[in-house]
Chains A and B, each alone.
Chain A
Amino acid sequence: MTAVAIGTGRAVRPPVADSLAGLGPMLRLVLRRNRVRLVVWWVVLAGLFAYVGTYYTSLFTTQAALNDFAALSNTPSIKALTGLAATPNTLGGAVWTKIWMTCALSLAFGVVFLVTRSGRADEEVGRTELLRSRMLGRHAYSVASWLVDAALCVAVGAGIAVASAAVGLDPAGTGVVGSLVVGASVTGVGLMALGVGAVANQVAGTSRGANALGSAVIGAFYVLRMVGDLGDGRLTWVSPVGWAQEMQPWGANRWWPLVLLVVLAAVLLAAAARLEARRDLGAGLLPERPGPAGAPVRYASPLGLALRLQRGPVIGWSATIVLTALLFGSVVQSMTTLLSDAGSTATAIIGGTSVNALLAMLGMIIAMITTVFALQSAASLRGDEASGILEPQLAGAVSRTSWALQRLLIPVVGAAVLLLVGGAGIGVSYGAAVHDAGQAGRLALAALAYWPAVMVLVGVAVALFGWVPRLAVPLTWGVLSAMWFVVLIGDALHLPAWLLNVLPFSATPHLPLARLTWTPLVVLVLVAAGLVWTGLDRFARRDVQPG
């Protein structure tokens, strides 16, 4: 298809100005359709930074307290998860360690989703075609959406900078340089994500594909910098997220990595525009192939059909887990060498079990990735109901409960398999480094301990599907995001300790750091079963509600 479009590209082209005709009205349309989302993203991200800044200002009133916090933060887990500030024992550094990565990544994912919403999603349903039937140039809609999203990035960065300066995170005598740099670094990550999202929207043929591709690239940047931060820091420079980290607010206060980010964003946007000029409206770059004429018998069951429909995500998530796990395992050994060099103090602080602590944390990240897969699969119950695929299936000789249970086999069994594979992957790669073949089995079982926790979230998704079908999908992801938020900054929110401890991921014994205790696992499984039961019971009684 693209070959054809390129071929005709040699014909007389309309003037360049034409390709942006209608930009003004399109800016208004993008703002109108995204006004609530834009405001929510801004308030949440800027507000989050302001809140943590205020809280830490009141918490760390002495330099001694800051020094303690810096020492406590200097663990592989913190370095891997959020990165460690360049100057961890300053007020700004403490806030950066706590919240910068969350803000920057949230903005990055948010921007990818916003680009898709006004890009591939509209093109997919033919809305772009409706708009293009007016006096609208080829690039006007895309450029309008990019401008609005870029403005969001700048606004979020500005909000963070203002909040930081207002709270007083800058040490006396430095002006507000640190605040400006921290705001600019978040903006830079957002702009980079805008470029990634724009290209993903041109390459993928569906909105789901565009979101998946964009998110996967951002996720890969995050993992790359994680590996870099755990090592000697050189690999951090491979990742654009790492560039923004290396702007080092309240440390080196570098501006030039921002130039790298802006240039990368500009290059990606230019590439996206070029791709858009060369392809047909409605087509992606990834070729569409004709499917086979017939279908095998196995597609006749709800499970078989679901497996076919979810083939892409199942393969994609499995590959993600394997690659991530192998990468994790390979850095554990070098990490521990660094740690032992640091001397006995560091080892003492994290309980003398540094390797196990790191392995436990990496296992939890594998479990988090697995959760996203399991929730995506569980949420497709509602997805198929909304898109109308459910009704013809129920018209066959299959009960609703049986349909749903067969569908749930994918997240239930798939999560167990992914956890085992992920744990084993870390073990294989780590075991190879320390010449211990037993690590694979040990770590696979350690990761499997998170299966009940993942199932509780699947249960929540099923219960929401049963009781509030129309809100089930956004609420499912909302619950997951809320849980992650609470785990990350729950202490700053003054949430009671029992609430933090009762969350599925906190309640799970963090093997191999902690000892295996069966009680929480059994309780989690029972809770999950109860949630699934109530959801399916309700689903069997309520109306089928296509979107």
Chain B
Amino acid sequence: MDPLGGGRAIGDAPPTGPAVVAESLTRTFGPVTALSQLTVEMPHGVVGLVGANGAGKSTLIKILLGLLPPTSGRAQVLGLDCATEGLAIRQVVGYMPESDCLPPDVSATELVVHLARMSGLPSAVARERTADTLRHVGLYEERYRPIGGYSTGMKQRVKLAQAIVHDPRLVLLDEPTNGLDPAGRDEMLGLIQRISTDFAISVVVTSHLLGELERISDHLVVIEDGVLQRSTSTADATQLSGVVLVEVTDGVAELAALLRAAGAQVADDGGAHTFTVELAGEWVLDAIQDGAADLGVGLVRMQRRRHHLTEIFRPEQEGAHARH
């Protein structure tokens, strides 16, 4: 990293190797096990870390930052060991905490300048970067006012700004959309996506809302009660399913009967004008078109459905709950 330049030169080689590696990471708090034998690799890009409240997401982040020693196992961030090289990690990593932890009696500019200087930027550079970053996250004149008077959305923006002000190679964002309204959520997700695409900073973002991570993540890691449930690329997880949704203007029952007669698996999906068909082969699509033409009904849509993440993870999560 070049802390003075503020931004990597174009043409930098893309980072190789995983951003984060955990090997049988375990962390207990007295009788509570927060993480249990967690082994996972997170690639560069945007990684979504999903889990219910109390699943162990924040504990994992603190271990990765080197702020919390693991009970056993080891972890590496950008090739640096979390147990021994905490300072080096924190030099190249940004962190957005979950809690409302901003001091109320200083302004956003003061705070972010200070944190930038704590990351090693010289004073003038820290000021310039702070102005740029706060503008980038959408804070303008209000950045000179004490943080105590900010709305939740503004506070979240300040927390995001301080995480990226020193141009880190990786940012860990803990529940960045907490407490935001739907519009604020969309804006925050957009900002996070741009951190990855515009600035080439790798992102690990946690949330208990799968839906919003689905939109921005390249890779998903699901943990439940400190145990890894799944680690998969978003594309794999949401690949096309073998089901076609058919919507017609009329004659649903007739068309369905025709298709069944042709040997297709038809399922009622509850809609008055829709049903789904198992896509056994290209011939099924032809049969739908021909059948509609023969019956003289209007074919409104034929849509190949994608798996929704929530469907994919539901069985695992229910399984996890059932163990209690």
Contact = CB atoms under 8 A, between A and B. Distances in A.
Nearest to B172: A133
A11 B83 contact: yes
Contacts of A8: 69-71, 83
Contacts of A127: 101-103
Classify chain B's interface size.
35 or more
Contacts of A14: 84-87
Contact of A132 (B67, B85, B110): B67
Contact of B101 (A25, A130, A280): A130
B96 to A, nearest CB: 9
Given A12-B83, A125-B101, A4 B115 contact: no
- Main SS class of interface, A: loop
A5 B114 CA distance: 30
B91 A135 contact: yes
Given A1-B29, A8-B70, A129-B67, A21 B97 contact: no
A33 B98 CA distance: 22
Given A18-B87, A21-B87, A25-B118, A4 B28 contact: yes
Contacts of B105: 33
- Main SS class of interface, B: loop
B90 A133 contact: yes
Contacts of B85: 14
Nearest to B29: A1
Interface in A13-39: 13-14, 18, 21-22, 25-26, 28-29, 32-33
B97 A7 contact: no
A32 B110 contact: yes
A8 B86 CA distance: 15
A496 to B, nearest CB: 38
Contacts of B83: 8, 11-12
Interface string A386-410: 0000000000000000000000000
B87 A135 contact: yes
Interface in A26-69: 26, 28-29, 32-33
B30 interface: yes
Interface string A286-320: 01101000000000000000000000000000000
Contacts of B311: none
B204 to A, nearest CB: 13
Nearest to A19: B87
A131 interface: yes
Interface in B23-50: 28-31
A126 interface: yes
Nearest to A4: B71
A126 B62 CA distance: 12
Contact of B68 (A18, A134, A280): A280
B69 A5 contact: yes
A137 interface: yes
Contacts of B69: 5, 8-9, 11, 280
A125 B100 contact: yes
A115 B70 CA distance: 29
A529 interface: no
Interface in B81-136: 83-87, 90-91, 93-95, 97-103, 105-106, 110, 114-115, 117-120
Interface in B143-194: 159, 162, 166
B71 A281 contact: no
Interface of A: 1, 4-5, 7-9, 11-14, 18, 21-22, 25-26, 28-29, 32-33, 125-127, 129-137, 280-281, 287-288, 290
Interface of B: 28-31, 62, 65, 67-71, 83-87, 90-91, 93-95, 97-103, 105-106, 110, 114-115, 117-120, 159, 162, 166
Given A8-B83, A281-B68, A287-B30, 9 more contacts: A1-B30, A21-B87, A126-B99, A130-B97, A131-B115, A131-B118, A135-B90, A136-B118, A290-B31
* 9 pairs of A and B residues whose beta carbons are closest in the complex: A133-B95, A126-B99, A126-B101, A134-B118, A8-B69, A127-B101, A25-B118, A12-B84, A134-B119
18 contacts: A1-B30, A8-B70, A12-B83, A14-B85, A25-B118, A28-B114, A32-B106, A32-B110, A33-B103, A126-B99, A126-B101, A129-B67, A130-B101, A132-B67, A133-B90, A133-B93, A133-B94, A287-B30
